[in-house]
Chains A and B, each alone.
Chain A
């Protein structure tokens, strides 16, 4: 009964204010530190050669090897290997990496009686921390929802609560772990409890990404995992751009062979633009969805625009349209951001001209006059078909114009 977890638009991006998943490795490290024991597993990054050295340092024994990338239904997908010898670990990793995975976990197998498997989940809600617990947990918990005890510990409550088999002291430690590390979701299933010793066989943690500084390195952006494994080069390029930026830059491919490339800005307005295309029945023609916001600089916009234009070039559609749209910015400088986009257009102008790409713009905000004029002058200069609007033309009308162009 793992709850539907939130998945970030792109992976490894902590600047995005949202809930993100941590690796199982980091989750278990944090739990072990809190409960006062050593976690003996290791994390393996397939793209990092040092990982092999870490494997060679492991003692002989029997291991579990699994994909550690916030992937659901790992057992079913064959992404968990049991009872592996030390020498088999790297073979397993290579085999699973061939399916597109990059991060793995290897840990000593824990022999136990399935009767002592329990289920525990903590969730941050408005009322406090919601606890789900079952003394007869394990992987089959979904089939026995009636066994699950649910209770809420209100924010700041010091009341000690004891659950069957789980002491108040241990639960208190887990709540401390949860708050200290700004977790929003913690699931341990199965959880072994023997002689008041807690052993998590599997652990899933989501954290509040806005707390990255507050946790002072307990977890970092490097521990964030996304189950999206099939990323295009453009998405990866934007991801690495985002990783070092204080602004927000996101990109996600919808239909690689679509006709319409979006460069959107502003949280609400971006959604509105995409929805409007949907309302015109054009969602299948969108190559991508992506936003830039939080006043990115010219260089960032230049690189961002280049990454998105690459998607346009890769699309097999014959008609190609670029839409630069957004609301009326409160603080993002329109001239600065447009300058970056114009530079990217300049670099790709031969392609844009040859393929008769048309450009539709609608944007407002600080320095809008300068930015819009600059954009229009440039598009006239290189001879691209275009429409450039300020905030007097509504988002809906811009999308209508584009829709007419698509259908023409």
Chain B
């Protein structure tokens, strides 16, 4: 395998490292790619991550775990960039190898990965034949191809100046992430172009070693020059020298080994990178220079010499870097993301992407509400029917309930409809109208935590809390609520949530005859089963739906009809200001 064989990669990034991710997308755009290479950001709480593709703002899907990324996306992924903490690095690569069948290359950005983890990282990645750069790597860049990591620069200007947007035949291998960009610049400003550049990372046990990149480059007929930056410490150069002296595919190699300063200290010194320490003669910069020299490598005396050698010997390619696309900075970020509707420049209103006339043509009002509430244009027949029935049942519940009373009082006080409706809606919460939402959350958590119905009931009893969705003022086990019976008859297909709710009701109603499954509890469990079985939502999607307030939306939408009706009637009757009669309020003092 060689990096330049990957032409149009699909990439997943772990960790929302904005500057790096943006620079990878800028590279995509500047080399003329039509679509962003990054398909998902994993390890984030956001559902969408905002970036720019060129001058246009885009949204990349965010997931907290790799397993949540749809399989259709996962099976396309060829590379991953791991920019999460040192603690997570090994797990990210393990999961990627297990879950991404096409995975070919990766880089790990974190510093301070433990030696034990680093050794495991090398072990699993070499077994899986995945080229993992790092830990402590700034990534891989293929000239004119793609950029994985911060390598090559993080602003559009740096990327353009780095001269890496056109392909070439020079390979850069560097143990230092900071220096790699300096070398790339030296190569391109000397008239060379990159086949690819890699940052090995300065750790003791890198997952990919310099000699392995050398092997890849020496076996690649398209590569003409290799430029290498190494440091004191370790024995990498022995392997490089060996492989280079044995190969028949000689290419021009220019190398610099940093760390001659170390020889001026009395005792071995640890420098900035973990590997940068010469404990023995064989780890010194001068020894490494000597063996590379003997193997036939052009070894620089100092950095100035290194730059001159690159200037003189690097393969001068004819490939011009022409910038066809332009990125205008600063790029403005939108203030909101909204996928529900928009008014286009031509004045046409589109709902969920469709012209409002077309969108509404064959949909009932409840179907429109369902589509807009859920943000999904298509729903199962089962859900549509259920949603419609529930809306109808919730439309009103008599004038005595809190919300209706509030609306009527407001109407009689002379306020306008918006005030009256708002007064009614403001009562909706944990004790009025909110029971569907609470019941749904409870049924959902209990079933997914595999809590037994008995334990569930005991938990509430112990805490002296009513179970939302259980109990009715009038209906009893021997006098069941006809609405609940109708709902169960039409929509209960034996789903786990409805089964659980029924089991709970069986236990509670045995304690007290009116502790039956009420209409809120029934709507909640049936809705959950429909979301799971008919809508095929996974656990995360259902949780998201619940947390967004979908159940309350049902109630608010339906009951607004009732409140408006009560308001209008009060206005028509015009009975004047309402005041509680004397004696209707008492105090503790009597």
State yes or no: do A and B come from one complex: yes
- B-binding residues in A (CB < 8 A): 4-9, 16-19, 124, 126, 155, 179, 182, 184, 208, 210-211, 213-214, 227-228, 248, 250, 252, 254, 266-272, 274-280, 283-284, 286, 289, 291, 293-294, 326-331, 366, 391, 394-397, 399-400
- A274: chain B residues at CB < 8 Å are 261
- Nearest chain B residue, comparing its CB with the CB of A265: B178
How far is it, in angstroms, between the C-alpha of A314 and the C-alpha of B272 when the chains are bound? 26
* Any A CB within 8 A of the CB of B125: no
* Any A CB within 8 A of the CB of B150: yes
- B174: chain A residues at CB < 8 Å are 268
Would you call A396 and B307 a contact (CB within 8 A)? Answer: yes
How far is it, in angstroms, between the C-alpha of A179 and the C-alpha of B272 when the chains are bound? 25
- B153: chain A residues at CB < 8 Å are 328
A275 and B178 in contact (CB under 8 A), knowing A396-B302, A400-B304?
no
Would you call B114 and A214 a contact (CB within 8 A)? Answer: yes
* Any A CB within 8 A of the CB of B116: yes
- B176: chain A residues at CB < 8 Å are 266-269, 327
How far is it, in angstroms, between the C-alpha of A241 and the C-alpha of B461 when the chains are bound? 56
- A291: chain B residues at CB < 8 Å are 271-272
Contact with A along B299-341 (1 / 0, CB 8 A): 0011111110000000000000000000000000000000000
- A4: chain B residues at CB < 8 Å are 268, 279-280
Would you call A6 and B268 a contact (CB within 8 A)? Answer: yes
Would you call A269 and B114 a contact (CB within 8 A)? Answer: no
Would you call B177 and A9 a contact (CB within 8 A)? Answer: no
How far is it, in angstroms, between the C-alpha of A250 and the C-alpha of B202 when the chains are bound? 17
Residue among B154, B186, B280 with most chain A CB within 10 A: B154
Contact with A along B277-290 (1 / 0, CB 8 A): 10110000100000
| Shortest distance from the beta carbon of A280 to any chain B beta carbon, whole Å | 8
| Shortest distance from the beta carbon of A179 to any chain B beta carbon, whole Å | 7
The 8 closest A-B pairs by CB, nearest first: A268-B176, A267-B272, A279-B302, A396-B304, A327-B178, A266-B178, A268-B179, A274-B261
Residues 117-168 of B at the A interface (beta carbon under 8 Å) = 119-120, 122-123, 136, 138, 150, 153-154, 158
Would you call B264 and A9 a contact (CB within 8 A)? Answer: no
* Any A CB within 8 A of the CB of B237: no
- A250: chain B residues at CB < 8 Å are 272
Complex partner residue of A283 from B115, B119, B158, B264, CB under 8 angstroms: B264
- Nearest chain B residue, comparing its CB with the CB of A252: B269
A208 and B303 in contact (CB under 8 A), knowing A7-B269, A326-B178, A327-B179?
no
How many residue pairs link A and B with beta carbons under 8 A? The number is 179
- B280: chain A residues at CB < 8 Å are 4
Contact with A along B253-282 (1 / 0, CB 8 A): 000001111001101111111101101100
Complex partner residue of B154 from A210, A294, A330, CB under 8 angstroms: A330
Apart from A17-B112, A286-B261, A399-B304, what are 7 other A-B pairs with CB-CB below 8 Å? A7-B277, A9-B270, A214-B114, A267-B273, A275-B258, A275-B261, A400-B304
Would you call A330 and B138 a contact (CB within 8 A)? Answer: yes
Would you call A6 and B279 a contact (CB within 8 A)? Answer: yes
Write 13 A-B pairs (CB below 8 A) sorted by A numbering. A17-B274, A124-B116, A208-B114, A210-B114, A267-B273, A269-B178, A274-B261, A275-B303, A283-B261, A331-B154, A391-B185, A395-B303, A399-B303
* Any A CB within 8 A of the CB of B518: no
Would you call A126 and B119 a contact (CB within 8 A)? Answer: yes
| Shortest distance from the beta carbon of A231 to any chain B beta carbon, whole Å | 14
- B205: chain A residues at CB < 8 Å are 126
How far is it, in angstroms, between the C-alpha of A225 and the C-alpha of B347 when the chains are bound? 73
- B272: chain A residues at CB < 8 Å are 248, 250, 266-268, 270-271, 291, 293
* Any A CB within 8 A of the CB of B529: no
Would you call B178 and A329 a contact (CB within 8 A)? Answer: yes
A182 and B273 in contact (CB under 8 A), knowing A268-B229, A366-B154?
no
| Shortest distance from the beta carbon of A129 to any chain B beta carbon, whole Å | 10
A155 and B120 in contact (CB under 8 A), knowing A283-B264, A328-B181, A366-B154?
yes
Would you call A184 and B115 a contact (CB within 8 A)? Answer: yes
How far is it, in angstroms, between the C-alpha of A283 and the C-alpha of B301 when the chains are bound? 15
* Any A CB within 8 A of the CB of B26: no
- A252: chain B residues at CB < 8 Å are 265, 269
| Shortest distance from the beta carbon of B551 to any chain A beta carbon, whole Å | 42
Would you call A328 and B307 a contact (CB within 8 A)? Answer: no
A269 and B179 in contact (CB under 8 A), knowing A17-B274, A210-B86?
yes
Contact with A along B458-475 (1 / 0, CB 8 A): 000000000000000000
Would you call B267 and A18 a contact (CB within 8 A)? Answer: no
| Shortest distance from the beta carbon of A15 to any chain B beta carbon, whole Å | 8
How far is it, in angstroms, between the C-alpha of A269 and the C-alpha of B303 when the chains are bound? 10
Contact with A along B164-193 (1 / 0, CB 8 A): 000000000011111101100110000000
- B265: chain A residues at CB < 8 Å are 252, 254
* Any A CB within 8 A of the CB of B401: no
Would you call B114 and A211 a contact (CB within 8 A)? Answer: yes
| Shortest distance from the beta carbon of B244 to any chain A beta carbon, whole Å | 21
- A211: chain B residues at CB < 8 Å are 114-116
- Nearest chain B residue, comparing its CB with the CB of A292: B272
* Any A CB within 8 A of the CB of B111: yes
Would you call A155 and B123 a contact (CB within 8 A)? Answer: yes
| Shortest distance from the beta carbon of B132 to any chain A beta carbon, whole Å | 15
| Shortest distance from the beta carbon of B276 to any chain A beta carbon, whole Å | 7
